[in-house]
Amino acid sequence: MLLDDAARLRAAAAFVREYESATLLPLLLPGLHGPELASVAAYCRFAHVGILLFPRDPRDLRDLLAASGLVADTPSLPSVVVRERLARRHRRDVAELDVQILRPRVHGPAGEPRAVEVFTLAVPEGSGLEPIAAHERALGHETHLAFALERPDPLVLRGLCAVLTRHGARPDGGGYNPHENGTVLYFTTPDTTCGYRRLELYAPGDHREVLAAHTSECPGTNRHSETLLHLLTGAWTTQALASFARLRLPEAMDTTVATGIRELARRTATRPDSLATLLRYLTMLGVVAEESDAADPNEPDEPSDGQGAFRLTSLGRLLRADCPDTMRPLALMYAGPFYRSFAALDHSVRTGQPAFDHLFGENHFDHFARDPELADLFDRSMAASSRMFRPLPAHPVITAAAQAATPRTVVDVAGGNGELLGHILTAHPSLRGTLLERPHAVEAARRSLGSLGCGARCDYRSGDFADVPHGGDVYILSRILHDWDDDRCREILRHCARAMPAHADLLIVERLLPADGSPSLATAWDLHMMCNVGGRERRAEHYARLLADAGLELLDRSPLPLEAHVLHARKAAQPGPADDQGHARGSDAGVS
C-alpha cells in the first residue's frame, strides 16, 4: 500500500499547488459565480487537501512522506474530530483510535503557504484495526478540500454555511479541536469534475454554537436531545459558579501558575476529591484551566496526587472579590434569592404576579430592605454591571452640562450605592451631584462617593420617587423603569417631569427588546423581571409612549456595553392653553 498511498499524497500536493479559491469553488459548487463567488472567495482561503492514512508505525509514515516529496517539520497533534467520526462510523471506543494530524507544508501558485493535511491512524500488521483501514481506503470518507476563514466571526461563518447549502452543499458533521482551538464544519458537495466531494470550513477559535446548528442538519443525526440535556443542566452551572465564588476559590488561585488540588483544598478548607469534581466542571465552562498533573510547586517534596493542577482564567478572574470588574455579587445573587424564585416561574406565567412575592410573601425591595446583608449584596450586584456605565460620562448631554459656564447638577434617581454618579463626577470635576435613594443605600453611597473623592460635590436625599429633587440640570433613571409595570413607570416619569426645569435633560439606561426578535440579553432579563419584580423589558417605541404620557419626548438613543442603551428625553413642547388644560386633566387621571 505504500506506493498507492504515496501516489495519493503526490496527487494531493499537486492539487494544492495548482488551484485558487476563486477557480476551485465553482468546481465544487456549480452555480456559485459573479459577486457571490467573489464575496465567498474573499472570506475563504483555500488551505489544504486532507487525507487519512494508515501507516504500520512511525517509520512507515516517514517513508511514506519522503516518497511523496513531503516533509513533516512540525509536531503532530491529536485529531478530535476525525477520531470521533471514525468511532461513530465503525462503532469503536474513541480510546482505541489514536488519530494524529500532520500538516506538511506546500506552496500555492503565488507562493502562499498551504499544506496537505495528513490524518494518521497507526495499524500494525495483524491489528484489529485493519478492517477500518480497508474500509476507509476504499471509500475515502475523510478526504476533503479545506477553506480557512480569514476573519473567524460567527456571523460570517453562519453566512458562509447558508451560501454553501443554497448551492447544493450538505452538512456532513464537524467538531471542535481544543488541542489547536479550531472549529471545522464538513459538507458534501454535488458531483464535481475535480475529484473531491467533501469540503471543510475551518474557523480558528471556539464556535460550538454554529457547530451545533450545523451538525443538527446532518443526515441521520438528531442532536435535539443532546441540546435539550445541556439546556436542562443550566441550573448546575449557576450553582457551580456561585459555589466557586462562595468558597473563595478565585482568590486562592493564580492566573499564570497552576496550583495542585491538595494545596487548593488546604487553602479553601474543602475535600480534594470533591474539589477536583467541581474544578473539572468549571474547566468545561472556561472558568479555570487544567494543567499537566505535575508535582505541586507549593509542596515540592510531595508526589503528584493524580488529580491535576488548575489555574484561574481571565473569565474566572471576574469572580474574584478584588477584581475591579468583579461579578461575584451577581453570582451570589443569581444563585440565591433569585434562583429560589425561579423555581416558581410557572406561578408568574399562570397569574402574572411575581414568583418572588409568592415565595417570600413580599416584594423583593421590601424583603431586601429588612435584611441589611441582602440589601448590601443587591446594591453590589447592581454595581457589578457598571461596565455599561463607562461610556455615559461622554454622552453629549453630560459633556454639555460639564462645559456650562455655571456649575450644573446631575440628579441620579434611585441611584443605588452611587456607582454611576461616581463615574460621572469623577470624569467631570465641574459637575455637582444629587443622589435620591432609600436610607440604607444613601449611607452606602456616602461611603462610596467619599472614597472616590467626590463626596463633597454631592447632596444625598432619602426618599421615594415622589421626592425627586427639583431644579436639577440632568436627571438619570438607570435600570429603574424595567422594575415596574407601565402604570408605575408613568407615575415615576411624571414625578421626574414635574421636578425638571424646562431646560433639563432626562437620561434613561435600560436594555431594549429587539424589534426583530433576534437573541438578546434583554429577552432573558424580561423573563427575570417578570419572575422576580413584576417588571419588564421594553422596546424603544414602548418607552417613547410612556414618556409621551408623562409629558416628555424621546429625542434619541445610543448603545452602551452589555447590550444596554441610553435614552435621551426632554419635556415636550408646551401646547396651547386649551390643549394644555385637556392634557393636564388626562395626566391627573392616570396617576395612581
Tell me the average pLDDT across 92-97.
Answer: 81
pLDDT at residue 277 in the model: 94
pLDDT at residue 314 in the model: 85
577-590 helix and 486-499 helix, angle to the nearest 10 degrees:
130
Q: Are 536 and 530 in contact (CB under 8 A)?
A: yes
Q: Is 482 a catalytic residue?
A: yes
Q: What domains sit in the chain, N to C, each tagged with a CATH number?
A: 5-227 (3.10.180.10), 233-327 (1.10.10.10), 337-376 (no CATH), 383-580 (3.40.50.150)
pLDDT at residue 201 in the model: 93
Catalytic, out of 347, 364, 423, 482: 482
The set of long-range contacts for 280-283, using a CB threshold of 8 Å and a minimum separation of 24, is 280/308, 281/236, 281/240, 282/240, 282/241, 282/244, 282/316, 283/310
* Residue 507 in this model has a pLDDT that exceeds 90: yes
| Residue 590: pLDDT band with limits 50, 70, 90 | very low
pLDDT in tens, 428-471: 999 999 999 988 788 888 998 999 999 999 999 999 999 999 99
pLDDT at residue 74 in the model: 74
Distance CA 415, CA 413 (A): 5
pLDDT at residue 344 in the model: 94
pLDDT in tens, 29-63: 888 888 889 888 988 899 999 999 988 888 888 88
pLDDT in tens, 538-553: 999 999 999 999 999 9
Q: What is this structure's pTM? A: 0.59
Distance CA 512, CA 535 (A): 13
Lowest mean pLDDT among 140-149, 385-394, 492-501: 385-394
Q: Are 4 and 53 in contact (CB under 8 A)?
A: no
Distances in Å between the Cα of 65 and the Cα atoms of 102, 147, 194 are 10, 23, 23
Strand partners, 538: 512
| Residue 586: pLDDT band with limits 50, 70, 90 | very low
Per DSSP bridges, beta strands 564-571 and 552-560 are antiparallel
Tell me the average pLDDT across 359-381.
Answer: 84
| Residue 383: pLDDT band with limits 50, 70, 90 | confident
Q: Are 479 and 413 in contact (CB under 8 A)?
A: no
